[in-house]
Amino acid sequence: MTDAVLTEFDEGVAIVTINRPQTRNAVDKAVAEGIAAAMDEFERRDDLAVAVLTGAGGTFSSGMDLKAFVRGERPEVPGRGFGGLVAKRPDKPLIAAVEGYALAGGCELALAADLIVASRSAKFGLPEVKRGLVAGAGGLFRLPRRVPRAIAMEIVLTGEFIDAERAYAVGLVNRLAEPGSALADSLVLARTIAANGPLAVRVSKSVIEQSADWPDAESFERQGPLVSGVFSSADAREGALAFAEKRAPVWRGE
């Protein structure tokens, strides 16, 4: 693990922090490798149910470190892509806690998350076109899946920033937080998810992601193999028993 990315674990939640505030958390090779290592550990550990990705010093990420890029660095990890994340997202839920700017590659890291909690003072943007570039780390296809197509076109083609209030209004952001509270509010959301059956959460996320292009006539057939194991799982029995006994369930993830 590198000091460019800090990882801590608390109550079933992995907190992954991009730690280059002097560069507004610009993503270089060390950041990409640090995020990838954190995601590997998050996926591997059964005691971790949700991860939160954030940035140190009041900024989420300003995108790719252009100075490092000029030096010949590529802020990618084989198999995981830019930032060690965008090409291979975790199977478990990932929340982006956004303060300050989430721009270019930084915005694409946020888009790689399942949920976004943003400070009311945060700003999002894919300004690549202003430099004759394109948002090639997932922004061009993930943004239109999160917001109406016309809004995505406007954000991408103008390269202009949008503030958190508008991002929330168009559905990009799940929850707004007071400035400085995005991480704390993300942890509340993360622990709410972490309290649920881990197998059920993973399968639910998988069905939502895979079903985006399923024909209606095939949806139940395709869903069947994914969800059948949940209904026959030990966790399903434990959930029902805990409800009947009016106690908190003890999940096994199986």
* Rounded average pLDDT over 119-145: 96
* Rounded average pLDDT over 108-116: 98
The rounded mean pLDDT for the chain is: 95
Residues 6+ apart with CB under 8 A from 137: 81, 82, 83, 86, 105, 108, 109
Predicted local distance difference test score (pLDDT) of residue 106: 97
Catalytic residue among 33, 76, 99, 108: 108
Taking only the tens place, the pLDDT of each residue in 166-219 is: 999 999 999 999 999 999 999 999 999 999 999 999 999 999 999 988 999 999
Pair of tokens at residue 204? 């639910």
Write the CATH number of the domain with boundaries 5-194: 3.90.226.10
Query: Other CB atoms closer than 10 Å to residue 129's CB: what's the count?
Result: 14
Taking only the tens place, the pLDDT of each residue in 46-74 is: 999 999 999 999 999 999 998 888 898 99
> Counting beta carbons within 10 angstroms of the beta carbon of residue 79, is it exposed (0 to 12), middle (13 to 18) or buried (19 or more)?
exposed
What is this structure's pTM? Answer: 0.95
- φ, ψ dihedrals at 248, nearest 5°: -75, 135
Residues 6+ apart with CB under 8 A from 47: 9, 12
- Note if 160 is an active site residue: no
- Of the chain, the percentage scoring pLDDT greater than 70 comes to 99
Catalytic residue among 11, 73, 128, 160: 128
Predicted local distance difference test score (pLDDT) of residue 253: 86
- Note if 128 is an active site residue: yes
Predicted local distance difference test score (pLDDT) of residue 2: 64
Please report how many Cα atoms fall inside a 13 Å half-sphere around the Cα of residue 25, on the Cβ side: 30
Please report how many Cα atoms fall inside a 13 Å half-sphere around the Cα of residue 7, on the Cβ side: 19
Taking only the tens place, the pLDDT of each residue in 209-242 is: 999 889 999 999 999 999 999 999 999 999 999 9
Tell me the domain boundaries of the chain: 5-194, 198-245
* Rounded average pLDDT over 138-150: 96
Asked if the model's pLDDT at residue 1 lies above 80, the reply is: no
How far is the C-alpha of 235 from the C-alpha of 61, rounded, in Å? 38
